[in-house]
């Protein structure tokens, strides 16, 4: 009986020693707990552990919301008639007018190509975006032709307003006979009223052909031919002793007649 009690006491002592050793090892391996100073001025600073709280993941996922892309509505088209008027034939040294008109087309008809008072008149219908509320619309035109005096020679512009027509005029003056081919360009420039952003669009490029004749109404080829013949005749007439030769020939014919 005494032997059993002694064995039990020894077992309890062993368990106690193992528990103490295990507790010390766990405390040594744990990370240090940050301390927060407490206490007033002049008092020794005491520290106390800062409590930590586990981060609990949200049960409800956050969904990304994307706004649909903005698609601007297409602008309503404004129908306009573009009319070009130019002389198909001119004389050297004369001046004339080339006219380009952009006006509202209320009937929707295309002006056919025709002759009117010695001028060729052509027409076509074009569609212009009706964006006058948000943009400044500017019509620009230029007449490109080589070998002929054109005024104005550079690009010039006019502001386009709803329901209003614009007209471009060029004064032309040829200095030599021949056939002149040129191009009349029409552009539209759109300027955003808020941002000032600019964009440009080519609306029309029309070919113009003008025949220029000399003062006597002859075309360039005929005038050159007549000039060559005139040069030959002038050379023959100015040849030395031509008058003596003519008198000699006519004198021989008169003698034979007698």
Report pLDDT digits (tens) over 104-134: 876 555 445 555 667 899 888 888 888 989 9
| CA angle at 185 for the pair 184 and 187, rounded to the nearest 5° | 155
Q: How many structural domains is the chain composed of?
A: 1
Quick one: pLDDT at residue 64? 46
Quick one: pLDDT at residue 66? 44
Residue 170 has a CB neighbour count (10 Å cut-off) of 22
Q: Taking the CA atoms of the chain, what radius of gyration do you get in angstroms?
A: 52
One DSSP character per residue, 58-84 reads: PSSPPPP--PPPP-PPPPPEEEEEEEE
Quick one: pLDDT at residue 5? 74
Quick one: pLDDT at residue 239? 53
Quick one: pLDDT at residue 226? 52
27 domain residue, yes or no: no
Which residue segment(s) compose the domain that 97 sits in?
Answer: 77-213
Give the sign of the dihedral formed by CA 250, CA 252, CA 255, CA 256: negative
Quick one: pLDDT at residue 72? 44
Quick one: pLDDT at residue 199? 93
What CA–CA distance (Å, rounded) separates 82 from 109? 11
92 domain residue, yes or no: yes
Whether omega for the bond prior to residue 111 falls within 30 degrees of 0, making it cis, is no
37 domain residue, yes or no: no
Quick one: pLDDT at residue 123? 87
144 domain residue, yes or no: yes
Quick one: pLDDT at residue 188? 94
186 domain residue, yes or no: yes
What CA–CA distance (Å, rounded) separates 21 from 218? 130
Quick one: pLDDT at residue 202? 93
Quick one: pLDDT at residue 247? 62
- In tens digits, what is the pLDDT along the chain, a chain of 258 residues? 676 676 777 777 776 766 666 666 555 555 555 554 544 445 555 555 555 545 545 554 544 444 444 334 445 678 889 999 999 999 999 999 999 999 887 655 544 555 566 789 988 888 888 898 999 999 999 999 998 999 999 999 999 988 889 999 999 999 999 999 999 999 999 999 999 999 999 999 999 999 999 866 554 455 555 555 556 555 555 555 556 655 655 565 555 555
182 domain residue, yes or no: yes
57 domain residue, yes or no: no
pLDDT digits (tens, 9 = 90+) for 172-201: 999 999 999 999 999 999 999 999 999 999
CATH number for 200? 2.60.40.10
Residue in the structure block whose two tokens are 């690009």: 155
18 domain residue, yes or no: no
């Amino acid at each position: 009986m005494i032997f059993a009690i002694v064995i039990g006491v020894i077992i309890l002592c062993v368990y106690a020693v193992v528990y103490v050793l295990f507790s010390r090892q766990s405390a040594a391996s744990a990370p240090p707990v940050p301390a927060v100073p407490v206490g007033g001025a002049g008092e020794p600073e005491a520290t106390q552990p800062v409590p930590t709280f586990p981060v609990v993941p949200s049960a409800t996922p956050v969904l990304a919301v994307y706004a649909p892309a903005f698609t601007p509505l297409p602008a309503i088209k404004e129908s306009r008639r573009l009319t070009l008027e130019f002389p198909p034939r001119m004389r050297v040294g004369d001046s004339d007018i080339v006219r380009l008109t952009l006006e509202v087309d209320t009937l929707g008809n295309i002006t056919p190509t025709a002759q009117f008072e010695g001028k060729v008149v052509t027409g076509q219908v074009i569609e212009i975006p009706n964006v006058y509320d948000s943009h400044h619309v500017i019509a620009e035109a230029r007449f490109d032709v080589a070998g002929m005096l054109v005024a104005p020679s550079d690009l010039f512009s006019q502001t386009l307003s709803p329901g209003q027509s614009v007209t471009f005029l060029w004064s032309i003056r040829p200095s030599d006979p021949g056939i002149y081919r040129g191009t009349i360009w029409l552009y539209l420039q759109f300027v955003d009223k808020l941002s000032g952003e600019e964009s440009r669009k080519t609306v029309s490029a029309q070919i113009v052909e003008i025949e220029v004749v000399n003062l006597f109404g002859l075309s360039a080829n005929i005038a050159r031919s007549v000039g060559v013949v005139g040069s030959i005749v002038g050379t023959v007439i100015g040849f030395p002793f031509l008058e003596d030769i003519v008198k000699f020939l006519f004198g021989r014919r008169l003698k034979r007649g007698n």
